[in-house]
Chain A
Amino acid sequence: MSLELLISNISKRYDHTTVLTDCSFKFESGGIYVLTGPNGSGKSTFLRICALLETPDSGEVKYCSDGQLLAKDISLRRRITLLLPKIGVFNTSLFNNVAYGLKIRNLGKNSALRVAHALDFVGLLTKKNQQALTLSSGETQRLGIARALVVEPEVIFLDEPTASVDVRNTEIIEDIIRKIRKDGRSIIMTTHDMYQARRIGGKLLVIKDGKIIDHPG
């Protein structure tokens, strides 16, 4: 499991606003990075480009494994995952939501155990047969994490994972993130909360003038 992400000189603008300018960074495999910055500074855009959900106007996004450059095809996409600030929960049970990732990879059979494990990891196992749309926003976030983790991605992008979540669930989610970190997966997350950034630990980054730099201090 070693997936490196190399961002080279990417730029992105929406309408007349330039969000990212000549931005470069190298993310090592197995590292944890927390990207901070005020709202609207381009954190989400950066994450979406890294997760291949959007393409940059210029510059390159490269994934390498053991020195080999990987093609940006479906097999690569299935090794990474992005959790958006608003989780697109499917209108079905929690179990089916989590099982989704496995089903589309044709691993649906005998998936019950893995699904249960993922739900347990985020503390939602007791609600596995409940309808996903009845969850609170905090629980929804946790469901999103379980859904992403069940397919064992090597890189996990989290965009403002606790932005609309209550205090209690924020604590739970931060715990979960720390647990993920122990598994050795790469975590790249954004937050506008400096205190959260420090609580999570890992390498602290900031977006400034459309570029990623190490956080001073």
Chain B
Amino acid sequence: MDFIVEGFAQAFSLIIHLDPELLNIIVLSLEVSGIALIVASCLGVPAGSALGLKKFRGRGLLISLSNAFMGLPPVVVGLFVYLLLSRRGPLGFMGLLYSPSAMIVAQAILIFPIVTSLCHSAVVSVDPIIRQAAFTLGATPWQTSLTVMREARYGILSGIIAGLGRAMGEVGAILIVGGNIAGYTRVMTTTIALETDKGNFELALALGIILVIISVLINIGLHLIQRKGMVKILR
């Protein structure tokens, strides 16, 4: 029991003194997941919206695929990206394996289906009378689409934040493709895994505390946004 209490005490000390190694790891985590989120959103929001707004052949299949891929095990995504990026793989010439870029790629792939599916859901739940209203007020098809997306903004934002939550808590994929190299590809989750393994509980606990705080904040944010969006639906 002692070592747990001691661990917590030292963890708080690291946090309060803004230990530079700790900060570096946190910043890298936010960078990797943040950029992955931006990439996944830039692709996922238009993709999900298109799936919700336009009718075309194969639409149903794509929606099913997107929903199915939300459940992709992260470690499998890691394996796949590893094979893709390793020197002997098809994209090996880019020399991306064991770098932050590889981690961003893996996480972007992981959260893209989440953003797409949730965005699609949000767009599809917009009352059809909005589309009709836009039409009757003289909107072009493109303007109508944007109007529907604007009405779905809370749902879309929820999807993006859900994606962020998933990315920040993930360890399998980025461990495989990043290599967990100090100061280079070591983020909060992978450091916790490593340091616990080595028996250095102070750093692991400190990061664990921070990660839990961040996750909780993300979830609170998500909840608040969904609530704001809900109030409107109760017409």
Contact = CB atoms under 8 A, between A and B. Distances in A.
A101 B138 contact: yes
A84 B132 contact: yes
Nearest to A78: B138
9 contacts: A78-B138, A81-B138, A84-B129, A86-B129, A88-B127, A88-B129, A100-B147, A148-B136, A151-B138
Contacts of B137: 81, 100-101, 104, 147-148, 151
Given A77-B135, A81-B136, A100-B137, 17 more contacts: A51-B136, A53-B135, A78-B138, A82-B136, A84-B132, A86-B129, A88-B127, A88-B129, A88-B130, A88-B132, A89-B133, A90-B150, A90-B151, A91-B232, A104-B140, A104-B143, A133-B232
A112 interface: no
Nearest to A86: B129
Contacts of A89: 133
B88 interface: no
Contacts of B132: 53, 84, 88
A69 interface: no
B54 interface: no
Contact of B138 (A83, A84, A105): A105
B147 A74 contact: no
B139 interface: yes
Nearest to B228: A91
Interface string B41-78: 00000000000000000000000000000000000000
B136 A83 contact: yes
A77 B129 contact: no
B151 A84 contact: no
Interface string A88-123: 111100000000110011000000000000000000
A87 interface: yes
Contacts of A100: 137, 147
Interface residues of B, number: 19
A23 B137 CA distance: 26
B17 interface: no
A104 B130 contact: no
B198 interface: no
Interface string B112-156: 000000000000000101111111111110010001001100000
Contacts of B143: 104
A144 B147 CA distance: 16
B151 A53 contact: no
Nearest to A101: B137
Contacts of A144: 133
Interface in A148-169: 148, 151
Nearest to B135: A53
A151 B140 CA distance: 15
A130 to B, nearest CB: 13
A77 B235 contact: no
Contact of A53 (B136, B139, B140, B235): B136
A111 B147 CA distance: 19
A147 B139 CA distance: 13
Q: Which 3 A-B pairs have the closest CB atoms?
A: A88-B133, A88-B129, A78-B138
